[in-house]
């Protein structure tokens, strides 16, 4: 099972000192955090994508490309790549380039983001968010899988005889996750393609996460990619740990109380009771997250948000060490001891995807040939059906 961290890249005042880092300091801190996570032995580092203050991660592939040259083992990923407002052509080329630079040590997560104004900033209509996600991803798949693409859709200019460069490493595109908190259409899309589904449930009760993941699993099996329990699932999480619970709560409380997202609302005790945020000793974090498989089944990736709300860099690096040295070994042992043999432990690596494609005879001339695509009216019909089914699930 993979364990790692993700950043939303917020620039937030430290409420205990009143100091606010500038954008340059924050970007450099994120790079240091990722490098430290690699040195500590964590499996994954992921960055979000935002185009507005107070966030600084506006160019994920630039950041991850730098990290590809300054880390050794950690998988480099995104916690959001904006499939709705980015041009699929640019996504195809940027992430194929990152795949080549990192020698396949990467994947990415499609998402729609959580900032409504980003749509008009990039010339898009937020009311078309789901349709944009469906059409843009269908085109992205073709750009990676076909060397010459002729294409026409609703949301960008047509392509005639277009080849995206560089071609995917070894002729196999990167592994893709689809991230969603509340949209069954996105769970449907992930299931249709046999991609991973990531529920970033940091602000939601586990009952909602259970419904979304179960829906994705059912549809994954429906589309013939394997049994429901073999579907590739990831979860988000949050924690703050110290040697004893009292110290953790005392240290983290001012950051919680003043955080732009959840500060000045429910108490920390109320929030931790209703969401995965856990503040306490390492054993309390272990006990809380060891129960996640009871709600969503055996899953493959657990990412934690730990560098937010104005926490100083020194504290974040300490949290990484606690995670890598005390929490992850216990959670990995617990989860793997209960995982059936036929259920994958991790998302598929690049090497595993290449071997599978070659076995199936799908690597030809530098691209993967003969894969089905979700395009045109079929995608729209399936999205509408997904919405109706999602409503039945109460999503």
Q: What is the pLDDT of residues 331-351, one digit of tens each?
A: 999 999 999 999 999 999 999
**pLDDT bucket at 199, cuts 50 / 70 / 90:** very high
Q: How many residues does the chain have?
A: 395
pTM of the model as a whole: 0.91
Overall fold of domain 2-391: TIM Barrel (3.20.20)
pLDDT > 70: what percent of the chain?
91
Residue spans per domain, the chain: 2-391
Share the mean pLDDT of the chain.
90
Across 186-209, average pLDDT? 93
Task: State phi, psi for 181 to the nearest 5 degrees.
Answer: -100, -40
For residue 344, give both structure tokens: 């994958």
Gap between the Cα atoms of 18 and 171, Å rounded: 51
Using 50, 70 and 90 to split pLDDT, how confident is the model at 364? low
Please check the confidence at residue 383 and state whether its pLDDT lies above 70: no
Q: Is the pLDDT of residue 272 over 60?
A: yes
Count of beta carbons in the 10 Å neighbourhood of residue 243: 11
pLDDT in tens, 116-155: 788 888 888 888 888 999 999 999 999 999 999 999 999 9
Model confidence at 47: pLDDT above 50: yes
In this predicted structure, what is the pLDDT of residue 366? Answer: 53
In this predicted structure, what is the pLDDT of residue 114?
66
């Amino acid at each position: 099972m993979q364990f790692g961290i993700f950043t939303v890249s917020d620039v937030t005042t430290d409420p205990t000192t009143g100091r606010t880092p500038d954008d340059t300091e924050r970007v450099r801190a994120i790079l240091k955090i990722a490098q430290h996570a690699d040195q500590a032995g964590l499996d994954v580092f992921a960055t979000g994508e935002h185009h507005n203050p107070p966030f600084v991660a506006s160019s994920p592939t630039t950041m991850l490309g730098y990290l590809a040259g300054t880390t050794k083992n950690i998988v480099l990923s995104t916690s959001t790549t904006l499939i709705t407002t980015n041009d699929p052509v640019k996504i195809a080329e940027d992430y194929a380039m990152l795949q080549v630079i990192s020698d396949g040590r990467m994947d990415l997560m499609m998402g729609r983001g959580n900032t409504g104004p980003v749509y008009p900033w990039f010339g898009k209509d937020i009311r078309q968010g789901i349709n944009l996600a469906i059409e843009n991803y269908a085109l992205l798949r073709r750009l990676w899988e076909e060397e010459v693409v002729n294409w026409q859709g609703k949301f960008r200019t047509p392509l005639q005889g277009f080849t995206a460069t560089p071609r995917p490493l070894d002729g196999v595109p990167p592994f893709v996750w689809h991230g969603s908190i509340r949209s069954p259409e996105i769970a449907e899309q992930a299931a249709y393609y046999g991609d991973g589904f990531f529920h970033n449930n940091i602000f939601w009760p586990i009952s909602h996460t259970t419904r979304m993941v179960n829906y994705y699993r059912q549809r994954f099996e429906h589309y013939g990619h394997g049994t429901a329990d073999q579907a590739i699932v990831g979860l988000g999480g949050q924690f703050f740990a110290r040697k004893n619970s009292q110290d953790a709560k005392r240290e983290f409380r001012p950051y919680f109380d003043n955080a732009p997202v959840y500060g000045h609302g429910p108490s920390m005790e109320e929030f931790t009771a209703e969401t995965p945020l856990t503040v306490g000793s390492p054993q309390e974090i272990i006990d809380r997250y060891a129960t996640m498989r009871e709600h969503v089944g055996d899953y493959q990736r657990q990412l934690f948000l730990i560098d937010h709300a104005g926490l100083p860099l020194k504290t974040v690096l300490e949290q990484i060490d606690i995670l890598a040295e005390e929490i992850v070994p216990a959670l990995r042992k617990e989860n793997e001891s209960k995982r059936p043999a036929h259920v994958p432990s991790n998302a598929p690596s690049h090497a595993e995807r290449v071997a599978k494609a070659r076995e199936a005879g799908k690597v030809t001339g530098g691209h993967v040939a003969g894969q089905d695509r979700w395009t045109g009216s079929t995608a729209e019909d399936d999205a509408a059906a997904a919405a109706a089914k999602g409503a039945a699930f109460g999503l």
